Structure 1
């Protein structure tokens, strides 16, 4: 985690702005370093420089079917997805702690599985015509390697959106968890304009971070320390750390996150928070979540003074300290359920959350 804010500002601008002299860098790198053994590393470096698309990220269009067993064939490369005059929804998943930068390049099958793991229930609601969403919207889904920095992923998400949509399109982004932070980088004024993005709906996004990504919190809880240390042992994981800076934040001793502080400061000065609606999961007690993990997380957060959370993200962080256009609490939904992922696709909580999101999109000015 970076501690020197001035250095971080320089890094932020370095990543989000277009790189200069890309061809020269590419030629130099090819000449001096590349071997057959280093092919994957070269591709990833060129993606970072903006010369090639990142092979670990991709935008898919979703073709509704008839079976609840979603087929991979329903996920079509966005550039091949039929264009229509419908409004667009772009879903962005959250953190996948199983992936590491050192892993092989993610193939399409794994990319699609990452999407299904987060949004399969929502996609089923869509294809079954809930709230007539499929008659009004086309759905796209963005996937990325979550171990990378949110600054890198956000810049690449911006490029992907720019490449696939025109200024005449009407796009709403629906982002779960870390996906909301990637989206905030993509939308930041330093990254560039995305005039076709009408609205962003965040679902349990740690916009002021999560204690479970902060070493000061993990070290105080032996139960989660070893597991938590593994989960945040990537740049992307570290950038989920809790920050004490933020409207209405509860103080956590030793917690800081310069990346989120810089990003949130940028938003305060740009007025872009008016394009965000924030949904927060609120567990009324620590037994109503669908998994032991989130119920345990709820208990640990409660014991530390965070009495309102989804078991991972505190409600104030998910609500952006009430600084977004609108904040909506969702009762008794844990962090995974906040992406419509209840154990049963027919669970009323999943269906109601989907309906609420669609309603907010339709009613946004």
Structure 2
């Protein structure tokens, strides 16, 4: 379809990538966000090869490579410092045809803003309602203004205000069962090798270091706890010192060198797989459509896949906007439901929902030469829209 005007609500990773893809398809794009200043949620993200391939397709291969970390190996250690395994990720990269890029969210956001045109993002515009008829869709904003177009993309995140409109009812997020702390620190040999993703596991917890650009590590800690306890946060460093007492020296070094006021503390939630992703001329995209636990590292890449598939459906389906969005839903619904389900299952396994299963995983890590891990990651990547 030609000459469409598309309204995108949400200027996060999914919304910006959608805006870029739609612009390149020749469509008029209006992009709105409720915030007055764009600041990414979270410190960094592991952008796996399926997401990177879409960015390559959009002409951003050099840009994403320049801000991505060099991650050549992956290693698991016990919480006391015993090396469980250490293997190269190059067989994975060769198999899927693209390197993954751990990347600071600020760097990624700036890259996408530059590609879309930061001046084209309209901030301080909270979309509070949607109306549509046979020929158009209208977004209504809190300040009383409206805009009308042919398609509306609801990329307004995990707390989506537009998801209830598409579903016809509200949807509560589900607490996955653990708290995550994350941030950035300078890369040093005392913490981890500069091109390795290092993960310490034990006591149903994790501590992880992942290389990103400019000689930095993206770190995270995971601790399972009840929702009631999770909501009672204390002083951040003291909380981590208590939760990771007795862990290996690099973990203790990390706790001491992180900056508490620049470290995020997040109660991890997901949503149930949705029965529908579209309503007429309105499509859910990114976390509004499939908020998942981060345990597969696929949240960002799935939003980027959404953008690619949605744009292709609009470009290649000539019957109607609604028909194009039905094709988008058919293409994405099972894929993202599978990601949500597998991420939830992995979160449970990592964080001791069944302690015997978690202990079995710890034992299996000692005998994993990387084959099983790489097979799992490769399968997720190769079933994406660009293979």
The TM-score normalised by the length of structure 1 is 0.28
Higher-strand-fraction structure? 2
**Higher RCO (CA 8 Å, separation ≥ 6 residues):** 2
Task: Kindly indicate which of the two structures has a greater share of residues assigned to helix.
Answer: 1
Structure with the greater alpha carbon radius of gyration:
2
